[in-house]
Amino acid sequence: MIRLAIHGALGRMGQTVAHLAVSSQDFLLTAALEREDHPELGQNYYSLIGMKLPQELPIEKTSLAALEKADGVIDFSSPQGALQLAQLCAHLGLPLVSGTTGFREEEYQEFLKVSEKIPLLYSTNMSLGVNLLFALTKMAARLLKDKNFDAELMEIHHGKKKDAPSGTAKTLEAILRQEMSLPSHLVVYGRQGLVGERRREELGVLSIRGGDVVGEHTVYFLGHGERLELKHLATSREIFARGALMAIKYLRGKNPGLYTMQHVLGIE
């Protein structure tokens, strides 16, 4: 059994991970962590997320003392919170699974450095299906490069999502740019006005927000007389939570290093 800490425990993803972990015999939830100024600190986590359990689990601020009770940590929080958490995990040698998005480049590089000290699995999307989409996109982009196909991306999320494009879309963008040799300065995030003809090496990325959409990502390869679409639809946040729990189990006993869901799938 893995003693599990959840960081960002009151967020949508944190709550979903908690529900699945508690219902599994593979995990024991030992810490529900939130930022130090969170108004719910000290309250019973299970009651707040609608779980009727005889035991209580107080919501705690992120600290060494709270993390010492865990064998591993799952993080869905903010870039600043994830950076603080990563340093604490490195100090304790705790495996860390993180799906936090919205990092600035310098924050992202600092975050990844902890993989020199601990096993760190980072993925912008924990879904097994999305990670297969990453692999299929890489394959298609490589095969269609220099064959008169234009690449475009579209992603749709609920209206409360704070960052755009999504972390998953950014990962897909990076795959397309690398495999098709597309320059970063020709990435267009939405189009407006008299933009002229599409440049040959242009990559369009469109973000749509609204309603309660869990997540939809589509990669387009637009040729002459044909179009290939690779699409993933998420209808429940449980797919991300299940992936995160699979990831923390995968990291058990692993050496320090940077891992992804591709490793969990056996693709890398």
Tell me the catalytic residues.
Answer: 157, 161
* Residue 194 DSSP class: S
Spacing of C-alpha 182 from chain mean position: 24
The half-sphere exposure of 240 on its side-chain side, counting CA atoms within 13 A, is 25
Spacing of C-alpha 153 from chain mean position: 18
Long-range contacts formed by 199-203: CB under 8 A, 24+ apart: 200/150, 202/150, 203/151, 203/152, 203/153, 203/173, 203/176, 203/177
Residue 75 main-chain phi, psi, to 5 deg: -125, 125
Both tokens of 173, joined, read 């963008």
Tell me the β-bridge partners of 44: 58
